[in-house]
A = this chain, B = another copy of it.
């Protein structure tokens, strides 16, 4: 059990309202001046199964969760069976399971209940039953205040003053003021309920200035980054974990004026997007792996006709339908190679909220500057976790790289695909001149007209591919976090960052490690890593996939690169801070 954080897991079946409890607690905690991070697990079905809303509390900024928790709350049996083994030694379990009988035998097959009795005893875990629905019924005639009772009770266990959670509850129900008074009663009832359980004490520094910090999911911030970048149209077909981007942009469309179209399928979504970008507005689409496959022919089109395109690939665990509501980072190879033929592209990978905000802006910047498709990788872990932070990172100025004004008066159709040293040719928008062109997916010559002349074909192909060289030069090297002189370097990308950096903040021996973080995945910059290799550092790889996809890409570039260790995880779960802390501590 980490002393740097406290973690609560609210668990139950889909549809039991654990998210509401979680959200309320999370906001109240942050209003109290704590820093939080919230992580969600849920199955791919609408009701039933087991799911959890886990809140980490600390006085450090967090971007990861523990696998273990200090306080487990269970609203249904399956969740109890499943999550009990995650309660840390000395922890507490609160449940509402009538006549729960602890299992006392060893499990015989995979997935079966553990020997619960023994686990509780061995780990000195306290457990208490609260028949919240019955209590709600007996007090107010109906069971619906059960979750509020539990919320009050949890708050009490945390040792926080009741006022804060009351005010958060009022905010939470502000659109239904009529139900607030009874809920407040239920909350107090829960708070004042007697208990055998020990009371925790959140032993973290409160920061008053944190009270008006934000709590947002990665997908919210991704959408906000795109809005910041001037997105005017969003096209998508629902697919977890990208759906919440669609939901958010649609919900706020009256405020933003963004045109939102839920397309008939992913091919349509990406074709609408490239059509809008061709005409000159900023538009994007988001999907997950399966939908991305369907979009891949259009990536190749974008590469050929040199029309900017931004596609978000929100990763979950594959292949096939996989674990649709779980996380993963197994689509890097796909992002780098999808789409037939050869064409320049940029692959970015978001790692947290700050990165989501900046990467979406950069995606449009690079897509338009280089007239290429840009793929932005994110993960369910980033998109659906709730981050607590105070300041949005910088907004980048918007540049369009289009001919206008005087330049338009002298432009000629043949300028559109001019052979240039950088590979970038002038671009002007439909309607801005009577000098028109053909954005031709057939191999073409200067104004886009068909060409099958070998010499022209080579020149045009090389022109397109040269953009890759320029692009690579322009991209930054990966950032090294931690002790820059450390002996052990971990290399990773995506949500891994949060867990590694959080772990380094919790261990005894942080000076031994540094973490090299990639956000610009293709084309790769490898100077910094190369230097580290040359200096003889021990380099290890950490990725959310089986193959070590980034590792392979790096090895193709840096012959001398050997990995001391490979931390690869591919079971739908993110890296947890406690598993990394033990890893580091063991070194």
Contacts and interface: CB of A to CB of B under 8 A. Distances in A.
Interface in A316-367: 317-324, 326, 328, 330-331, 333-334, 336-343
A297 interface: yes
B342 A546 contact: yes
Contacts of A341: 289, 317-320, 322, 328, 330-331
Contacts of A455: 110-111, 571
A458 B571 contact: yes
Interface in A15-50: 43-44, 49
A452 B334 contact: no
B340 A442 contact: no
Contacts of A111: 445, 451, 453, 455-456
Contacts of A333: 337
A13 to B, nearest CB: 13
A98 interface: no
B456 A110 contact: yes
A334 B304 CA distance: 16
Interface residues of A, number: 73
A465 B319 CA distance: 11
A296 to B, nearest CB: 4
> Which of A110, A445, A465 gathers the greatest number of chain B CB atoms within 10 Å?
A110
Nearest to A344: B319
B300 A319 contact: yes
Taken together, the copies of this chain in the complex come to 2
A41 to B, nearest CB: 9
A461 interface: yes
Interface stretch (A182-190, A255-263, A474-482, A547-555): A547-555
Given A570-B458, A572-B457, A318 B289 contact: no
Given A343-B319, A461-B570, A336 B337 contact: yes
Contact of A340 (B49, B318, B560, B572): B318
A189 to B, nearest CB: 35
Interface in A72-127: 82, 110-111
A336 B320 CA distance: 16
A49 B452 contact: yes
Contacts of A317: 341, 443, 457
Nearest to A41: B452
Contact of A304 (B49, B322, B445): B322
24 contacts: A44-B442, A49-B452, A110-B453, A110-B456, A110-B459, A111-B453, A290-B297, A293-B293, A296-B296, A300-B319, A301-B319, A304-B320, A304-B322, A317-B457, A320-B441, A322-B443, A323-B457, A330-B341, A334-B339, A336-B337, A337-B338, A457-B571, A465-B547, A553-B556
Interface of A: 43-44, 49, 82, 110-111, 267, 288-290, 292-294, 296-297, 300-301, 303-305, 317-324, 326, 328, 330-331, 333-334, 336-343, 441-443, 445, 451-459, 461-462, 465, 545-547, 552-553, 555-556, 559-562, 570-573
